[in-house]
Homo-oligomer: A and B are copies of this chain.
Amino acid sequence: MSVRRTSQREIILQELQKSRQHLTADQLFRVVRKKMPRISLATVYRNLELLSETGLIAKLEVSGRQRRFDSEVVGHDHVTCVQCHRVENVFLEGMKEDCPSHGVVDGYTIKGRRLEFFGLCPRCQKKNKVPKGDATMGCGCGCAKKMLTDEQKMVLQAMADFHGPCVAKDIAAATGLEAKLVTGKIADLKKQGFVDSPVRCKYGITADGRTAIKG
């Protein structure tokens, strides 16, 4: 029998193709769950693996800790924005000879290559030029900015009151919230650009964050 056709597999492939992006398993899970609320994250992983084995999609090893998946399987390269971490396609012409994906390099029989560029995407370049003001509008990089919950506001406020970088437990102490919960909130706020981490383990409120709690 080998490979079966299941509704889970179909939706996973369909949604990855529809997105036209380079999604992580987790991101795709969140998308697929809207259509199929009882699907498991393990199923998403299992099928992404299987689909890439059969060549319908491509596993993408880009920098960062999360693997991404690509519905575009013909050979191309990628560029990662160092600020918003968006991954986009790069099609380089006339590079095949100079930067070969097959052939021999230093005695190795080359079967493939991976080329990844790092830089600032046009959106982030533009955003960095905006001196101040409508920071709450977001970075324009597709990361939809949601309303802040009361707890998120509490965390941000505590961070604003705290002068200098602080660790999660400082915020837990200041807000009275559970430390574990605070860690999660900080991660969310960091994704939204309201918090950054100047040093590992230490967090601080950003200009965007200050604007957000003022409004």
Give the chain B neighbours of A81 by CB distance below 8 A.
108
A72 → chain B closest CB, angstroms: 15
Within 8 A of B (CB), among A105-156: 105-122, 125
Copies in the complex: 2
The answer to whether B118 and A111 have CB atoms under 8 Å apart is yes
A45 → chain B closest CB, angstroms: 10
Cα A119 to Cα B112 with chains together (Å)? 7
Cα A76 to Cα B99 with chains together (Å)? 13
Of all chain B residues, which has the CB nearest A49? Answer: B200
Residues of chain A touching chain B, judged by Cβ–Cβ distance below 8 Å, are: 49, 61, 63, 79, 81-82, 88, 90, 92, 94-95, 98-99, 105-122, 125, 200
Name 13 interchain pairs, CB-CB below 8 A, sorted by A.
A95-B98, A95-B99, A99-B99, A99-B115, A105-B119, A107-B121, A108-B120, A109-B120, A110-B118, A111-B119, A112-B117, A113-B117, A114-B118
